Structure 1
Amino acid sequence: MQIKELKGRYINNAHLEPVLKNYFPENYQVIGFSEEKRPIYALKVGEGSTKILMWSQMHGDESTTTKAVLDFANIFKLNTNWMNQFELLIIPILNPDGACNYTRVNANKVDLNRDAYKASQLEMQVLLRKYREFKPNFCFNLHDQRNMYTVGDSNQSASLSFLSPSADVDKSWTTSRIRSAFLITTLIQGLPDDVKSNIARYDDEFNINCTGDYFQSLHTPTLLIEAGHCKSDYTREKTRKFINNSLEQAIIALVKIDFKNLENNLIVKKYQDLPENSKKFYDEILIFESETIGVRYILEKQGGFLNFRPEFFNLNKESYVSNLVFEASTLTEELAKQHLNFRRNQIKYYGIV
């Protein structure tokens, strides 16, 4: 049950507040304030004994999972069995200042996902306080990833990426990490076959200031879920559905899973068999006689709009993947400019402030 009022890539509190009031009037509250004094909202759904903490948009320009987690909550509240078994605490926009400005960082230019241990920012302090109060059995860290990621060395975009974060510098397979890895591989089994070929595993390098790593080190099973790119889906509406489906499958898996007597070695192997993300995708390839140029579009806020800015890469010595290839006999600045302007207009998405 998709919430149609939420669409596109630019989502902030002005979009969130009417949705909370109309769809979840009895379930939401203000749990704190950002560095610029914007409210941080949380949504509590369910009355069960298994507690799940979910947060989205700790990077303000990563809004796909915000749309998806609210779609999911809208479905969840109608399922009596789920409501009786689980209690969800969802923070749809942890970084409302970054969401308003469409930036990864907060108002102090701090990446909140590098602030978990230091907790120098108000937004992270809010998350940690709710973590301590709520005492979740599982945590879901929800993000967007850039278009450049592929499923290993394949020609498939990584539309979904999952990570069971490391709990220490040795990347030890602690009990909590094994449980989150098992949940990941189990929920993937329930996804449609046409999605499974676009699933990758995120890098597990340990950083105590990354939120997932920090919570995993505190022995709470934590999942990172990244919304990626689908062909020509620059508003990420397809990926939104994939994330929603993944959250549903996670709940279905948790209903069935018995975490006692797990076959740890088998779980780790199955998880590590997921292809790791590679950075080989380009939105556009320009091929000329003497050189090949890759183009990656960066979505930026310009005035009252979101717009695509192209970044250029020389690919003569690289392998690459792209859905769009443009060939010409000679490279001229005017020809390249004309083509890129045409493409940008084709995929442009306007997000009105």
Structure 2
Amino acid sequence: MRLPCLFLFLIYFKHGTYVSCRFYPSSQLMNSEIHMEHDAYRESLFTNRFIKHQILKSKIGHIQSQACFKVRQLGSSVQQREIYQLTIGTGKIQVMLWSQMHGDEPTGTLAFFDLFNFFAADDQHNAFRKRILDNCTLHFIPMLNPDGAEVHQRRNAQGIDINRDFLKQQSTEARLLAGLQQNIQPEFGFNMHDQDTLWSVSGSKKPATISLLAPPADDEASITPGRLKAMLLTAGIYQVFKKQIPGCIGRWSEEYEARAFGDNFQRLGTSTVLIEAGGYPGDFEKQYARKLTFDILLYALNQISTQQYAKQQLSQYHQIPFNHKELFHLLIKNCQINNDDSNFTADIGLNYTEIIDLEHHKHKKIYTVADFGDLSTWNAYDVFDADGWAMATSLSIGEKPTLKIVDTQGNILVMDQGVMV
């Protein structure tokens, strides 16, 4: 069904820029003990979301020369790209952390390399890092799926979703991950992912910038001894970081997935925490999510090394609101629709898909109409208030719109076939 003809007018700021929602004031981490200056440890080789294996490999070669790390090739991907294990620490608590089992989910990998710089440093935080490394041995697998990362796709070179391959282990990468867990028998595990930026937090209508979960170990979501520790650790993360990004931390679905690694590691006794990096206004390259992930992992590792997580209350875990979807990328509000049949006010919600040109390091957003009508219960990264101005163009659900948006000052914003021009 076609929507009525529309003509767009939007309210702009006096400098000619459109109204864009900025939900969250910048704030420092509340607990000074775990507030590290992330920029001091940020790995400068990685400046965006697109990590090539060759650059990762060169950085690991440099790390290998540092005495504090043990580096070994865990194995190779389907297309024979090296998969590495980096180990640091001498403590009895074994912790296993893996990232980018989905090739297009790189935030955990970025944070890992920042952590490598942190643990290799010699500075005012020596006592903090020594406490972690004296009590824990950390085993990292950065970029489990290098073939998928090379083309920025979820699945591996066989077309297999590695995180749905625990039972049959038909992929090389799944066998490597499962084998390392069996060899190490880690007490804790961290499963790093990125989630769709359209996930929001129930009740806040803000992006789920970070989502957490202590995955269930069975269909009944039983609280096994291992899962209980993961739940208490997750509760502690939430209690601290909800102060830094209020309304932006959610909980992933607790539905048991028998093929997934996190659920099975939980079943096998590794207290596993899922960390999903999501969206944040202005964070298109996931650099703020990278910083948050770095901070969260340091906090969690400190909690493990001191066993402070055991002081959390289980009820605090259940306070974490679930993920929801009440968010658009773009929301045009209060449009006056005038046609032959009636006059009424409507909102238009638009979402984009990303077209990536890895060869030329370019990407663009293509918007489509996701919904139309009363969208007053929704929010968006960018909100335009048309303030009752009449609109005249033809739109339909799923269409890539061509729009000319003009404010009262005559400033123009153009969308051509879904692309902002």
**TM-score, normalised with respect to structure 1:** 0.89
In the alignment, the residues of structure 2 paired with residue 172 and residue 192 of structure 1 have an alpha-carbon distance, to the nearest angstrom, of 26
Say which is worse superposed, 5-14 or 121-130, in terms of deviation.
5-14
Equivalent residue in structure 1 for 2:373, among 303, 313, 316: 316
Is 1:289 matched up with 2:329?
no
Say which is worse superposed, 333-342 or 234-243, in terms of deviation.
333-342
Cross-structure match for 1:280: 326
Equivalent residue in structure 2 for 1:170, among 213, 220, 224: 220
- Asked whether the equivalents of residues 166 and 204 of structure 1 are also in contact (C-alpha less than 8 Å), the reply is yes
In the alignment, the residues of structure 2 paired with residue 133 and residue 218 of structure 1 have an alpha-carbon distance, to the nearest angstrom, of 13
Cross-structure match for 1:73: 116
Aligned pairs (5 A) from 1:117-196 = 117-191=167-241, 193-196=243-246
- Give identity over the alignment, percent: 28
Inter-CA distance 309–120: structure 2 relative to 1 (3 Å threshold): farther
In the alignment, the residues of structure 1 paired with residue 51 and residue 420 of structure 2 have an alpha-carbon distance, to the nearest angstrom, of 21
Query: How much does 1:312 deviate?
Result: 3.0
Is 1:339 matched up with 2:407?
no
Is 1:253 matched up with 2:303?
yes
Query: How much does 1:240 deviate?
Result: 0.6
Inter-CA distance 311–95: structure 2 relative to 1 (3 Å threshold): farther
Cross-structure match for 2:383: 325
In the alignment, the residues of structure 1 paired with residue 244 and residue 308 of structure 2 have an alpha-carbon distance, to the nearest angstrom, of 28
- Secondary structure of the 1:283 match is strand
| Paired letter, 1:86 | C
In the alignment, the residues of structure 2 paired with residue 331 and residue 10 of structure 1 have an alpha-carbon distance, to the nearest angstrom, of 40
Is 1:10 matched up with 2:10?
no
Query: How much does 1:344 deviate?
Result: 5.8
RMSD (Å), alpha carbons: 2.4
**TM-score, normalised with respect to structure 2:** 0.75
- Secondary structure of the 2:245 match is helix
Aligned pairs (5 A) from 1:191-202 = 191=241, 193-202=243-252
**Using CA pairs below 8 Å that are at least 6 residues apart, which structure has the higher relative contact order?**
2
CA deviation digits over 1:273-319, x for unaligned, max 9?
11100112211113443453322233343352333333431143653
Inter-CA distance 336–52: structure 2 relative to 1 (3 Å threshold): farther
In the alignment, the residues of structure 2 paired with residue 336 and residue 203 of structure 1 have an alpha-carbon distance, to the nearest angstrom, of 40
- Secondary structure of the 1:241 match is helix
Say which is worse superposed, 288-297 or 30-39, in terms of deviation.
288-297
In the alignment, the residues of structure 2 paired with residue 270 and residue 342 of structure 1 have an alpha-carbon distance, to the nearest angstrom, of 47
Structure with the bigger percentage of helix = 1
Inter-CA distance 9–341: structure 2 relative to 1 (3 Å threshold): farther
In the alignment, the residues of structure 2 paired with residue 229 and residue 336 of structure 1 have an alpha-carbon distance, to the nearest angstrom, of 27
Inter-CA distance 121–342: structure 2 relative to 1 (3 Å threshold): same
Cross-structure match for 2:317: 271
In the alignment, the residues of structure 2 paired with residue 289 and residue 114 of structure 1 have an alpha-carbon distance, to the nearest angstrom, of 47
In the alignment, the residues of structure 1 paired with residue 89 and residue 272 of structure 2 have an alpha-carbon distance, to the nearest angstrom, of 20
- Asked whether the equivalents of residues 212 and 250 of structure 2 are also in contact (C-alpha less than 8 Å), the reply is yes
CA deviation digits over 1:141-164, x for unaligned, max 9?
000111111111313211111000
CA deviation digits over 1:115-137, x for unaligned, max 9?
11221111101111111112111
Is 1:31 matched up with 2:45?
no
Larger radius of gyration: 2
Cross-structure match for 1:302: 357
Is 1:237 matched up with 2:298?
no
In the alignment, the residues of structure 2 paired with residue 81 and residue 343 of structure 1 have an alpha-carbon distance, to the nearest angstrom, of 52
Inter-CA distance 80–286: structure 2 relative to 1 (3 Å threshold): same
Structure 1 alignment gaps of length 5 or more: 347-353
Is 1:51 matched up with 2:68?
no
- Asked whether the equivalents of residues 193 and 277 of structure 2 are also in contact (C-alpha less than 8 Å), the reply is yes
